[in-house]
């Protein structure tokens, strides 16, 4: 695949400048400074359209897309999700607050988390339609909060249970399938036997009994095997296992099933192109339809939970080259951002590609590494990519930067998180302001 194809849909080179949504990136870098992140709405809509039409074509019962907010969440993204009728998966109170600030209705909000605190659970019960229960301790905690809400005289003085709305919450149980998908790094796998996520079959059975004994509103099953996988094969035995569990549980009536997210994308031109969303959705749909038919189960409401495959390609990171160093046959471009806004290479050796913003068509002859300004040898975004002879002062653009960069960003070395722009029909709107030195001091209680 060509390097330009990694960029958002409709990226062009106009007057020798990389241009997204008909806006030259030079004008954005000049106006907003760097590092700068841009998100292209048209690409988000395109990816969502692929999911929606595949579900409509292949799944004959109600189905929904839940955007995995952990990939990147701010109120503009949550508003986009709300406008498109998506649900949003929030991990904990912080993301719940962002989604609700965007006006996301309770029934469109689902809460995940591997060790939800009491505050997370209170916030979930106040603001969400669904909680995906990770473990038995959490389930028992939910029961205590709900009992206190029904019987306020039982509540401890500092409990917020009395303020809980009495409307329905759905509880789904997170199954640990014990089957890994192939991802590019062990840290992006979650479904394997020794994973910290979810419940074993025995624990699920115990959780179901606990829900039944205590009248808890259990109506769904969930699993998630990992992130950035391309081979849907391991999904099928996990779906079979989940349907066996569903048969055992006997939901009786409407029930919900979510085989998670994690569908992969291409980050580098030497990978195969983006795997087909349609093929992924078709594979899941067929397995669920056939699996339910053979077990005599009613078709569930099917939920898919993509993050990366929806949003990663919509995002581009723009940096300025501040210094160039030659080291043997390697050329270092030292840029003004790095592991503080994108820790993915440092965390799991993620690979990226890159183009200069101006004259991106120059011949690529120089073996280039791209490093950031932070005091870590691991502060590297790209190793060994052929680039043109890039000069100090040039801007470069890294595609496929929309997922798990800013949501995992830090203030390491006093870094200030970059500004974020939303690009739409020749219009750029700032959706997150660049952090300032004042933000760094805001939490400093002795300042
Ligand atoms: C429970 C759950 N659902 C969905 C996702 C989204 O994964 P991806 O962004 O790879 O689609 C994740 C990611 O870790 C997750 O943990």
Q: What is the pLDDT of residues 163-180, one digit of tens each?
A: 565 458 999 999 998 777
pLDDT (0 to 100) of residue 187: 75
Determine if ligand 1 sits within 6 Å of the CB of residue 226: no
Cα of 288 vs centre of ligand 1, distance in Å, is 20
Reported as a pLDDT band with limits 50, 70 and 90, residue 162 is very low
Give tens-digit pLDDT for 334-349: 999 999 999 999 998 9
pLDDT at residue 160 is higher than 60:
no
Q: Which of 81, 227, 235 to mutate to test the pocket of ligand 1 (most atoms within 8 A of CB)?
A: 227
Q: Do the domain assignments include residue 447?
A: no
User: Could you list the active site residues?
Assistant: 375
pLDDT of residue 434: 98
Per-residue pLDDT at 183: 66
Nearest Cα residue to 120 out of 94, 93, 159: 93
Residues 191-237: tens digit of each pLDDT:
777 888 899 999 999 999 999 999 999 999 999 988 888 888 889 99
Is the CB of 183 within 6 Å of ligand 1?
no
**Are both 405 and 259 inside the same structural domain?**
no
Residue 59 lies in a domain: yes
Residue located via tokens 């590609």? 353
Q: Are residues 33 and 120 in the same domain?
A: no
Together in a domain, 12 and 58 = no
Q: Return the structure tokens found at 185.
A: 């790094």
Residue 276 backbone zone (phi > 0: left; psi -120 to 50: alpha; other: beta): beta
The pLDDT, as a whole number, for residue 185 is 65
For residues 84-104, average pLDDT: 98
Helix ranges (DSSP H) in 250-298: 277-295
What's the rounded mean pLDDT across residues 72-81? 98
Residue with tokens 């933000």: 439
Cα Rg for the chain, rounded, in angstroms?
A: 23
pLDDT digits (tens, 9 = 90+) for 288-299: 999 999 999 999
For residue 444, the SS3 value is coil
What is the average pLDDT across 138-166? 75
The verdict on the CB of residue 224 being under 6 Å from ligand 1 is yes
Res 167: pLDDT: 59
* Residue 190: per-residue pLDDT: 72
Pseudo-torsion of CA 220, 226, 231, 236, nearest 10°? -30
As a whole number of angstroms, the longest Cα–Cα distance in the chain is 74
Q: Residue 277 above 90 pLDDT? A: yes
Distance from Cα 269 to the centre of ligand 1, integer Å: 24
Domain presence at residue 106: yes
Domain extent at residue 236: 42-312
One domain, residues 109 and 223: yes
Q: What is the pTM of this model?
A: 0.95
CA-to-CA distance for 199 and 191, rounded, in angstroms? Answer: 10
Report the interhelical angle of 201-214 vs 235-249 (nearest 10°).
30
Question: Using a 6 Å cutoff on CB, does residue 112 contact ligand 1?
Answer: yes
* CB count in 10 Å sphere of residue 162: 11
Overall number of domains in the chain? 2
Query: How close is the Cα of 227 to the center of ligand 1, in Å?
Result: 6
Distance from Cα 276 to the centre of ligand 1, integer Å: 18
Distance between CA atoms of residues 219 and 170, nearest Å: 6
H or E element, residue 110: strand 109-112
Report the mean per-residue pLDDT for the chain: 94
Neighbour tally for 14: CB within 10 Å? 10
Query: Is the domain of 359 the same as that of 304?
Result: no
Residues 17 and 49 in one domain: no
Q: What spacing in Å lies between the alpha carbon of 335 and ligand 1's midpoint?
A: 30
- Please report the atom of ligand 1 found closest to the CA of residue 307: 9
* Residue 306 Cβ contacting ligand 1 at under 6 Å: yes
């Amino acid at each position: 695949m060509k390097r330009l194809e990694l960029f958002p849909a409709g990226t062009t080179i106009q007057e020798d400048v990389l241009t997204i949504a008909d806006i030259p990136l030079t004008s954005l870098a000049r106006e907003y400074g760097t590092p700068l992140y841009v998100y292209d709405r048209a690409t988000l809509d395109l990816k969502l359209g692929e999911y929606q039409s595949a579900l409509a074509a292949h799944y004959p019962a109600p189905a929904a897309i839940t955007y995995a907010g952990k990939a990147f969440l701010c109120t503009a993204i949550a508003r986009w999700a709300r406008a498109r009728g998506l649900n949003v998966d929030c991990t904990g109170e912080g993301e719940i607050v962002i989604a609700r600030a965007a006006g996301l209705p309770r029934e469109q909000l689902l809460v995940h988390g591997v060790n939800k605190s009491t505050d997370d659970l209170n916030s979930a019960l106040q603001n969400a339609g669904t909680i995906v229960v990770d473990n038995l301790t959490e389930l028992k905690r939910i029961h205590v909060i709900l009992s206190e809400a029904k019987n306020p005289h039982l509540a401890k003085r500092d409990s917020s249970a009395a303020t809980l709305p009495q409307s329905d919450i759905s509880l789904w149980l997170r199954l640990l399938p014990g089957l890994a998908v192939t991802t590019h790094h062990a840290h992006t796998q979650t479904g394997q036997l020794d994973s910290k996520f979810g419940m074993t079959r025995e624990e699920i059975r115990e959780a179901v009994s606990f829900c039944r004994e205590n009248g808890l509103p259990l109506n769904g099953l969930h699993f998630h095997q990992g992130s950035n996988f391309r081979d849907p094969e391991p999904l099928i035995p996990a779906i079979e296992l989940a349907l066996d569990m569903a048969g055992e549980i006997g939901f009786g009536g409407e029930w919900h099933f979510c085989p998670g997210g994690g569908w992969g994308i291409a980050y580098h031109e030497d990978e195969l192109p983006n795997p087909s969303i349609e093929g992924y959705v078709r594979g899941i749909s067929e397995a669920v339809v056939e699996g339910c038919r053979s077990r005599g189960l009613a078709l569930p409401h099917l939920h898919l939970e993509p993050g990366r495959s929806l949003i990663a390609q919509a995002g581009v990171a723009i940096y300025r080259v501040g210094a160039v160093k030659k080291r043997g046959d390697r050329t270092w471009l030292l840029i003004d951002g790095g592991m503080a806004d994108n820790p993915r290479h440092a965390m799991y050796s993620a690979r990226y590609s890159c183009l200069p913003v101006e004259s991106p068509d120059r011949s690529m002859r120089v073996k280039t590494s791209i490093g950031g300004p932070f005091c870590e040898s691991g502060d590297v975004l790209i190793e060994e990519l052929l680039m043109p002879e890039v000069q100090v002062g040039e801007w470069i653009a890294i595609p496929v930067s929309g997922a798990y960069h800013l949501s995992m960003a830090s203030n390491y070395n006093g870094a200030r998180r970059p500004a974020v722009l939303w690009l739409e029909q020749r219009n750029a709107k700032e959706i997150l302001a660049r952090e300032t030195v004042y933000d760094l001091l805001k939490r400093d209680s002795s300042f």
